[in-house]
Amino acid sequence: MNSTASNTPANPAQVAQIAPIARSNQQRFMRAFFRNRIAVLGVFIVLTMVICAVFAPVIAPHPPNQINPVDRLKPPSLQYPLGTDEFGRDIFSRLLYGAQISLVIAFVAQGVAISIGLTLGLVSGWYGGWLDDVIMRITDAFFAIPGLMFLIVWVSILGANPISIFVALGLIGWPSDARMMRAQVLSLKEREYVLAARAMGASAARIMLRHLLPNAVAPSLVLASLGIAGAILAESSLSFIGLGVQIPNPSWGTMISTGRNFTSNAWWYAIFPGLTIMITVLGFNFIGDGLRDALDPSQYR
């Protein structure tokens, strides 16, 4: 056992001060975040997209796959706010339902990436030694794999369905989270409260989950926000080349891919799905930038 830890007394007064300090830090973080107008704009964009996806059956003026040959390639109007496609389907309704697919895949994929990355990073940073070397070499190997190429091979073998897509996105996205968590754990494992927990006989699992993880996870929130934006782009890219969500299910990438064939007489077909992707990705990036700035220690000096 660490000699420094064994000589560290448990001071009740210091323990009693932890909760107020934590609440104060949370309050300062929230103030710094919501003072950032770009971050607030990002929250507004993301919440709007989530609400539209959740309430798509209520908001959509038409069924997403309803074919109306008479209304083929109609421009935006009161009946069709964003126009129609080559089958007379309402583009606005298809964008709403496409948001369900894109956001679910992105959130689940990032959940898989965070679960793998934080677990491996926590174990690697805490135990060190040969285990740290093995995990970091695996991480380096995943960093060397071209992301889009991995996704193409994966869905080509296992099929282009939402489950295989978000599993593939999670597998290719965890290395950044692992490195971030490892760096945080290495900086925190010698802090006084960790040494005190060791001296009191706490198990390694308890120290990692109770003391290290809550204090090390904050920077990973930035990566998570940016990772969701990247997952949306990756899913749209797969759909664009025909390896993502399959027709007739609405997908933003598929709509852009098909709409580019009608740019001369139906500009709205590809423009509106592209704008939707751009705005959604910007929203998550704005949140990530706001989180990064709010977590900057210089904000509290």
- What is the residue-wise DSSP string for 186-234? HHHTTSHHHHHHHHTT--HHHIIIIIIHHHHSHHHHHHHHHHHHHHHHH
Asked if the structure places residue 19 within a domain, the reply is no
In a domain, residue 47? The reply is no
Q: Tell me, what's the pLDDT at 301?
A: 52
Phi, psi of 20 (to 5 degrees): -60, -35
Question: pLDDT at position 297, please?
Answer: 58
- Provide the H-helix boundaries in the chain: 3-6, 12-35, 37-54, 56-59, 91-127, 129-143, 147-158, 162-188, 192-199, 204-206, 213-216, 218-240, 252-259, 268-294
Tell me whether residue 216 is in a domain: yes
Q: What are phi and psi of 56, to 5 degrees?
A: -55, -40
For the chain, how big is the Rg over CA atoms in Å?
Answer: 24
With respect to residue 9, please indicate whether it lies within any of the assigned structural domains: no
Say if 218 falls within a structural domain.
yes
| CATH code, domain with 291 | 1.10.3720.10
CA geometry: angle 224, 226, 232, nearest 5 deg = 100
Which residue in 98, 91, 138, 145 sits closest to 116, CA to CA? 138
The number of distinct structural domains making up the chain is 1
pLDDT, residue 90, reads 92
Does residue 270 sit in helix, strand or coil? helix
The more confident residue out of 206 and 93 is 93
Q: Is residue 7 part of a domain?
A: no
* Burial environment of residue 91 by CB neighbours within 10 A (0 to 12, 13 to 18, 19 or more): buried
Give the rounded distance of the alpha carbon of 163 from its chain centre: 16
The two tokens of residue 283 are 């929203």
pLDDT tens across 104-138, in order? Answer: 988 998 999 999 999 999 999 888 889 989 999 99
Provide the 8-state DSSP code for 260.
G
Q: Categorize the per-residue pLDDT at 57 as very low, low, confident or very high, splitting at 50, 70 and 90.
A: very high
pLDDT digit string, tens, across residues 184-202:
888 888 788 788 877 887 7
pLDDT in tens, 213-268: 887 787 888 888 888 999 999 888 888 888 877 777 888 988 998 888 888 888 99
The CB density around residue 150, as the number of other CB atoms within 10 Å, is: 15
User: 181 and 251 in contact (C-beta within 8 Å)?
Assistant: no
Domain extent at residue 232: 60-71+79-300
Q: Which helix (H) or strand (E) segment is 295 a member of?
A: none
Position 6 scores a pLDDT of 40
- How far, rounded to the nearest angstrom, does the alpha carbon of residue 152 sit from its chain's CA centroid? 20
Residues 41 and 289: beta-carbon distance below 8 Å: no
| pLDDT tens figures, 23-56 | 556 677 778 888 888 999 999 999 999 999 999 9
Q: Is residue 17 part of a domain?
A: no
Residue 298: pLDDT over 50: yes
Asked, for residue 88, whether it belongs to a domain, the answer is yes
**Residue 265 CB burial class (10 angstroms; 0-12, 13-18, ≥19):** exposed
Mean of pLDDT over the chain? 83
pLDDT at 277 over 70: yes
pLDDT for 9 equals 44
pLDDT over 50 (residue 19): no
| CA dihedral (82, 85, 88, 89) positive or negative | negative
Residues 138-150, mean pLDDT to the nearest whole number: 87
Residue 172's DSSP bridge partners are: none
